[in-house]
Structure 1
Amino acid sequence: MSRPSSAPLSVEIREATDDDMAAVHSIYAFYVSRTAASFEEEVPSAEEMQARRAAVAARGLPFLVAVEEGEVLGYTYAGPFRQRSAYRYTVEDSIYVAPFVVRRGIGRALLAALIERCTALGYRQMIAVIGDSANQGSIAVHRALGFGQEGVLRGVGLKFGRWVDVVIMHRTLGGDDRPLPDGATAPPLLSAADPELP
């Protein structure tokens, strides 16, 4: 569907369901096959994308979609930043927006909702690992929502025959001395057997 307007879109942000995953798969396939935003080089299957969402849900982490009139226009989720237990209060975000509606506020709405939910869950830090220093749209969205750029890893990826940078950004979700929410416990320890998320 073509959307030539540049006006911001008003979307509903909600938890993803199994029925959303065909659209999620289609969005992600674009970024894998056409951009260096993802360092995957082969588009994962629809079944693999379902398994990845299930892994996020099993950890109690958010996997959100942006929907307008029943159409999924983007998605975001939080995954563990690293597997070792001391990192358990730190998450890494991923955001992908349908290419025909970029720069219309969807990425910002998704990231804002993800930050809010991860903060409420008791997480303390969110890391963005952004593929390609030319990915200025993603960098700008993160900066607008309070992320600072911590560094650039030069030429650590090779995709489409060129060396690609990774931009590291970071945002605090609450003070390190902030108590856990009432009734909450520490986020579950991650298992070394858990699948990696892209």
Structure 2
Amino acid sequence: MQDFTQLHTIFDRTRGYINRFMGIIQPIIDAAQDEHTRLYYHHILEEEEQRMGRLQQLVPHLESLSAEKKSDQLSDRELSQLLSDINLERFGLHNFREHLELSLYEFRDDETRMELDGMREKTHADYLQVKDIMSKLSERFSDVHTTDLTDHDEGHDVHQVDHLKASANAPLGVAAVITHPQAPVSGKKGLTVGSLKGLH
């Protein structure tokens, strides 16, 4: 079924994003100077680790359903459980987008900020696509499963904010003290005191 193929693509991409995101925020936890900051980002990290664990099971299942066209062979109970799992990850996409938005306020280097914002934009698009797919699946299988398709953005103005722009002038966060080692420039002779003297 095409819907399951699309869901597999989305959640497989999300696995990669989560893995990258965890690598980005771990240094914040390590460099935190107070327990509040450490606890705050540790909580976010734990949420994404738990979600990664769920996706490690869901993604191969969706791949199997897509490749072998097994969706018609699912029992009502299996189908209901699958739709519940997908809907949970729909909410997971919403939370992940918020985690990406929050982390924008920590970083000042353009490379990290653009990477986070790129993941945020794609995650938001994926969230909307999963919401549409779930709506179709819920109609198709309404006899075996009733899905709560609450729009988690509705009534919350915070999701209408351009967080990349809003975070540009935020106070420096923990990530401001994290330094990334510069790659050595090969093939170029560095300036020395002796070479500088020779310039006079």
Q: TM-score, normalised by structure 1?
A: 0.31
Q: Which has the higher helix share?
A: 2
Larger Cα-atom Rg = 2
